[in-house]
Amino acid sequence: MENRSKIVVSLVLLPLLLTTISAQSTKLTPNFYKTTCPNVESIVRSAVQKKFQQTFVTAPATLRLFFHDCFVRGCDASILLATGNGNAEKDHPDDISLAGDGFDTVIKAKAAVDSNPQCRNKVSCADILALATRDVVQLTGGPFYRVELGRRDGRISTKASVQRQLPGPNFKLDQLNSMFARHGLSQTDMIALSGAHTIGFAHCGRFSKRIFNFSPRNIIDPTLNFRYALQLRQMCPRNVDPRIAINMDPTTPRTFDNAYYKNLQQGMGLFTSDQVLFSDPRSRGTVNLFASSNAAFHNAFVAAITKLGRVGVLTGKQDA
C-alpha cells in the first residue's frame, strides 16, 4: 500500500479549469469531453488497470475516496487538496484512514490524461475520480455504467467541513437515512451504496467495542454472529496495531457482488451501521432483495452512485 502521508496534491499544482471547461455547461453529460479529450475514458481506464494490477487495495480505496469526496462539499476533488498546514479535508480524523492507493490512482490517471497534448489541463480531477471509481467497480466484477462528466475541481478544502458529514460505524437507520437524504439519496440508495463494503476493509478499532465491550449485559453485540465475532477477536485482539485492517466481506472480499447482503442475513455485518440494515425491519426487505439477486443489487448501485456523482457538483462558471 502506498504511504498516504507522501501523497500530496498542492493547490497550486491542480489545473485551473476556469478557462478550459465550457461556460455553457450547466449539467453533467457522459459526452462532456467529446471534442476536448475524446479518449479520456480509455486513458483513465488504462491507468487504473495498471494500478489495480499492482495492488487490489486500489479498488476499495478509490471507491471510498469518491464517497468521502462527494459527501463533503460535493464531488469536486477537494479531498485531494493539501493546504500545507494540516487543515485540509484529508487531515480530518474521519479521512485520515483513507488508503494512499486511492489518491495515487487519481494522481496517476491525471498524469496519464495530461500526457496527451490534446487533453492536457482540460479534464478535472473530480471527473477522473468518478471515472476511476467506475473502473475499479468493473475490475472487481461489478457493473459497467456510463459516467456523467463536466465537474469542475473545487479549490477549497478544510478540515472543519468534514465534521459530522460522514456516516459513522455505529450509526442506526434513522441517522443513515437522514445523512443520505441531505444529498438527495433515498434509503434504497443508501443500502445499495453500503454494498460497496463488499470489497472494503476496516481498521480493528472501528468495531472493537462490538466484540469486546458492547454493554454491561453483553460483552459481544448480540446482533453479531457469535462464531464470526470469535473470528474477529482472533484477527483483531485487544491492543492490536491500529494500522491492522481486515476485509469487511469475509466470504468474497475481492468480488463486487451481493455477498455483503447475504452476510447481513447471517449476522455478519462488520459495523453496526451495516448490520442495522438487516436488523431494522424497515430496511430488511431491501437487504433480502439484494441478497437474492445480484442483478437487483448492481442495478440499484448504478442508480445510486450516479445520483451520488451529482451531489454538489461545480459546473460551468460556478465558483469553487
How far is 103 from 8, CA to CA, in rounded Å? 9
Any known ligand binding at 251?
Answer: no
Bridge partners of 245, per DSSP, are: 203
Query: Which sequence spans correspond to the domains of the chain?
Result: 39-166, 173-307
pLDDT for 26 equals 54
Any known ligand binding at 208?
Answer: no
* Low-confidence spans in the chain with pLDDT less than 50: 1-25, 320
How far is 305 from 130, CA to CA, in rounded Å? 10
- List the catalytic residues: 68
Any known ligand binding at 316?
Answer: no
pLDDT for 209 equals 94
Bridge partners of 202, per DSSP, are: 246
C-beta separation of 242 from 205 below 8 A: yes
Question: Can you tell me which residue has the cell 460522514?
Answer: 166
Any known ligand binding at 69?
Answer: yes
Task: Note the pTM of the prediction, 2 decimals.
Answer: 0.90
Any known ligand binding at 72?
Answer: yes
Among candidate residues 244, 243, 240, the one with its CA nearest the CA of residue 212? 240
Any known ligand binding at 83?
Answer: no
Which amino acid is it at 77? A
- Condensed to tens digits (0 to 9), the pLDDT of residues 250-285 reads 999 999 999 999 999 999 999 999 999 999 999 999
Please report which residue ranges of 2-99 form alpha helices under DSSP H.
40-54, 58-71
- Can you point out the beta strands (E) in 155-292? 201-203, 245-247
Overall fold of domain 39-166: Peroxidase; domain 1 (1.10.520)
How far is 53 from 314, CA to CA, in rounded Å? 32
Overall fold of domain 173-307: Peroxidase; domain 2 (1.10.420)
Any known ligand binding at 249?
Answer: yes
Among candidate residues 129, 200, 147, the one with its CA nearest the CA of residue 307? 147
Any known ligand binding at 30?
Answer: no
- Condensed to tens digits (0 to 9), the pLDDT of residues 86-123 reads 889 998 988 888 999 999 999 999 999 999 999 999 99
